[in-house]
A and B are shown apart, each in its own frame.
Chain A
Amino acid sequence: MMQRLLPLTTLAVLFIALSLASPYFLTYTNLASVVRQTAVINVMALGMTLIIIAGGIDLSVGAVMAFSGLLGTMALEAGWSIPASIALALVCGCGWGLANGLLITQLRINPFIVTLGTLGIARGITLIISNGLPVHRIPKEFAFIGEGNLLGVPFVLWILVVCAALTHVILEHTRMGRYVFAIGSNPEAAWYTGIPVAFHTTAVYAYGGVLCGLAGMIEASRLMTGQPTAGQGYELQVIAAVVIGGGSLRGGEGSVPGTLVGAFIMGLLANGSDLLGISPYLQQAIIGAVIILAVAVDELRKRRLT
């Protein structure tokens, strides 16, 4: 129970403290901007939750996001419709996820190494295709995804809610979700039990890739450009969100609500630092410290239990 409550309590305390500390915090504009700023990390963190529960890791999320965002915006530039361009981005993300999953399961290479490799490859190809230049000529309507409102709340929040609900259902209410937990908790026992371990591991990376593709289009929409250099260092924030939310790098542990809370904790820390005039340099150090603190508290709790 503690495990679920601690991140949530932290989030609540942070929320109240910032409300008291800054008059600008508890305003619609500010909160909406927090949601918009964290949406990209949040969406990718949902896929990462599954990957980490399955005992893996994906360092390539930022690069895959940039690749998909670039190809999606290039499609827009070439006159494709918005849905078609988004679909292209999702397919790109899925392709990279499949590549990661297949390399990990078929060649039996450590996921850290595989995704470190695909990070470099995806980033490199993105720069080659774009010649290092951003894509600018994008239809104005495209901005709606990242900046528009639907029923009074940011559209990205709807996207996030749908993705989170979908991921949560997969994880908690499907056979695949159960297998993901089993694979991450004890891959050998999963194998002995006759679970198709390679298939499900690959599927999890592919799903994570699709969400990276979606995140790429959200980012492109917010910036209204296709940036080949977008998403640098996002992988660390995404992993941090999962870990702060109770995911374990040993596998077998984690949840969608936890990850959302973890991502929002990081979002509030960044937003609060801005409001309180803390330098962005110090922000990085604070977030780093929070990651270590979250994992340390979790480890201490487990040690007391066993």
Chain B
Amino acid sequence: MLLELRGIRKRFGGIQALRDGNLAVEAGEVHALVGENGAGKSTMARIIAGMVSPDGGRLLWQGSPVRFERPSDAAAQGIAMVHQESLLAPHLSVAENIFLGREPRRPFGWVERRRLCEAAARLIEEHRFPLRPEWRVERLNPAGRQMVEICRALQHGSSLLIFDEPTSALSEAETQEVFRIVRQLRERGMAVLYITHRLEELRAIGDRITVLRDGDTVYSGRVAEVSTEEIIRHMVGREITAIYQRTPQAPGEELLRVEGLTRRPVLDSISFSVRAGEIVGLAGLVGAGRTELLRTLFGLDAADSGRVWLAGREVRIRHPRDALRVGLALIPEDRHRSGLAIRLPLAWNLTLASLPQVSRFGFLLAERERRLCEEFIRRLRIRAASLWQPAGQLSGGTQQKVVIAKWLLARARVFLFDEPTRGIDVGAKAEVFHLMDELAREGAAVLMVSSELPEIVQVADRILVMRQGRITAELPRGAAQEEIMRYATLDTQQAATGRADAQQEKNPA
């Protein structure tokens, strides 16, 4: 056995990323590591590559226990990682990137460019990559950058190469190219650990598979011996704990209607509608286009085509200000980056979208502002020491409520939630859902993106599933998680996807 992980544990703050991580990789195999978003795949890969150290458990390399304190320790043993997000220096050449930090040592830090280029050319030649050593990395497409990363990983004789979702940003042709490289590496006796959430890829290149779920290794075996249905069941098969019980009610008028919304290459003719009093869940894997859909609706990104109606009136939203005017709210995933001004007082954050209501001729009416803030703090049960406490000092759940309150004050009627429960604790999650429920009962329409399937299943009245920029299914309340996962991971319409890929190639990102 080349690499073995036994009972690896890792905790990040309040989140147990890995609880019982087990993995065994043999030389000369392509080992697929799969799991839902947040199952612990990337954490496991980063532990193997020495980027994070585990809290407990054993790591065996060629049968003997090892400890990696930093990436160079793992590299010294012959483990290299090809990163999902390119870690290359865009302004440097291919050759410089391949040898970055490992240039041959010369007096005064002199770099012999010619020798670097020659060494890079040998590596590129060996793998028949369509690259030249002197090209600047910023000019390369994602596949080209990945090849540079692979060269970088290979340049000092690695025996295990980790790919972290290598094809998530690639077109069909580029994906085939990555497959060719992976197979070629296997033929040379190297082991490849291949992280993916596209199940059809498994069949194409995987020899064995390990499934992670909520930080535990739940299945390991040969790809040929397990059906896709079984893999999906292993991925989602957790016991459902009650998160929030909600009594759905008869939906009212149609508040949001979208037809043929397209933004190449991330959104492909999206059509759906949400009615007053409804919570619609938007499920899918990372990269399926869910966040992009919310951003485009809200006017942060421009659509190529498509029409949007709000409460029966056609609208064109090209700017968040347009969204504010028509009563459309976005509660973004990253509160600190785009939801709150964390150094400003709570009260200022609350009224930021509705200052016209608390001012006259541009002058703020302090008393009216204070009363309005107090009213909403009471209504939404926002816990804060005072109105003037900086928003950044509030707890994650409270911050989320402040962002919601900001839009409530601005009298929004359609709410787009992007991962509303990310990074907040269980109690606060229930409160956020309660709030969402209240919004719906008071006649708002809610569209919620969540990567937590149990949340979607329990909270949503209807579930839209997205995959590669398209809506692949619309499921009723309480649909099985397995069914959602099937639409999120599998190619249900081979022909349609082929068209999408053709488009991608015509419009390189």
Taking Cβ atoms with an 8 Å cutoff, the residues of A that contact B are 173-179, 181-182, 185-186, 188-196, 252-253
Nearest B residue to A252, CB-CB: B343
Q: List 9 A-B contacts (CB under 8 A).
A: A182-B341, A182-B348, A185-B341, A186-B337, A186-B341, A191-B320, A192-B320, A192-B338, A252-B341
- Given A174-B363, A178-B364, residue A185 in contact with residue B352 (CB < 8 A): no
Q: How far is the CA of A174 from the CA of B365 in the complex (A)?
A: 9
The 0/1 profile, CB within 8 Å of A marked 1, for residues 314-354 of chain B is 00000111011100001010000111111110001001110
Question: Which residues of A lie under 8 Å from residue B356 when comparing CB positions?
Answer: 175
Pair A194/B341 contact, Cβ less than 8 Å = no
Question: Which residues of B lie under 8 Å from residue A178 when comparing CB positions?
Answer: 348, 351-352, 355, 364
Pair B340/A186 contact, Cβ less than 8 Å = yes
Pair B343/A193 contact, Cβ less than 8 Å = no
- Given A181-B348, A182-B348, residue A192 in contact with residue B339 (CB < 8 A): yes
Taking Cβ atoms with an 8 Å cutoff, the residues of B that contact A are 298, 300, 319-321, 323-325, 330, 332, 337-344, 348, 351-353, 355-356, 359, 362-364, 366, 406, 410
Question: Which residues of B lie under 8 Å from residue A182 when comparing CB positions?
Answer: 341, 344, 348, 352
From the candidates A173, A175, A192, A253, name the one contacting B332 in the complex (CB within 8 A): A192
Nearest B residue to A176, CB-CB: B362
From the candidates A175, A189, A191, A253, name the one contacting B355 in the complex (CB within 8 A): A175
Pair A181/B362 contact, Cβ less than 8 Å = no
- Quote the shortest CB–CB distance from B272 to chain A (angstroms): 23
Pair A185/B362 contact, Cβ less than 8 Å = no
- Quote the shortest CB–CB distance from A178 to chain B (angstroms): 6
From the candidates B324, B337, B363, name the one contacting A173 in the complex (CB within 8 A): B363
Question: Which residues of A lie under 8 Å from residue B339 when comparing CB positions?
Answer: 189, 192
- Quote the shortest CB–CB distance from A90 to chain B (angstroms): 21
Pair A174/B359 contact, Cβ less than 8 Å = yes
Q: How far is the CA of A64 from the CA of B302 in the complex (A)?
A: 38
- Quote the shortest CB–CB distance from A179 to chain B (angstroms): 8
Question: Which residues of B lie under 8 Å from residue A173 when comparing CB positions?
Answer: 363-364, 366
Question: Which residues of A lie under 8 Å from residue B366 when comparing CB positions?
Answer: 173
Pair B320/A185 contact, Cβ less than 8 Å = no
Question: Which residues of A lie under 8 Å from residue B348 when comparing CB positions?
Answer: 178, 181-182
Q: How far is the CA of A174 from the CA of B300 in the complex (A)?
A: 27
Q: How far is the CA of A197 from the CA of B341 in the complex (A)?
A: 14
Pair B355/A186 contact, Cβ less than 8 Å = no
Q: How far is the CA of A178 from the CA of B320 in the complex (A)?
A: 18
Question: Which residues of B lie under 8 Å from residue A196 when comparing CB positions?
Answer: 321
Nearest A residue to B323, CB-CB: A194
Q: How far is the CA of A186 from the CA of B366 in the complex (A)?
A: 23
Question: Which residues of A lie under 8 Å from residue B319 when comparing CB positions?
Answer: 194
- Quote the shortest CB–CB distance from B299 to chain A (angstroms): 9
- Quote the shortest CB–CB distance from B134 to chain A (angstroms): 30
Question: Which residues of A lie under 8 Å from residue B355 when comparing CB positions?
Answer: 175, 178-179
Nearest A residue to B331, CB-CB: A192
- Quote the shortest CB–CB distance from A297 to chain B (angstroms): 18
- Given A173-B363, A174-B359, residue A193 in contact with residue B337 (CB < 8 A): no
- Quote the shortest CB–CB distance from B302 to chain A (angstroms): 15
Question: Which residues of A lie under 8 Å from residue B324 when comparing CB positions?
Answer: 193-194
- Quote the shortest CB–CB distance from A215 to chain B (angstroms): 25
Q: How far is the CA of A185 from the CA of B340 in the complex (A)?
A: 9
Q: How far is the CA of A190 from the CA of B349 in the complex (A)?
A: 10
Question: Which residues of B lie under 8 Å from residue A181 when comparing CB positions?
Answer: 341, 344, 348
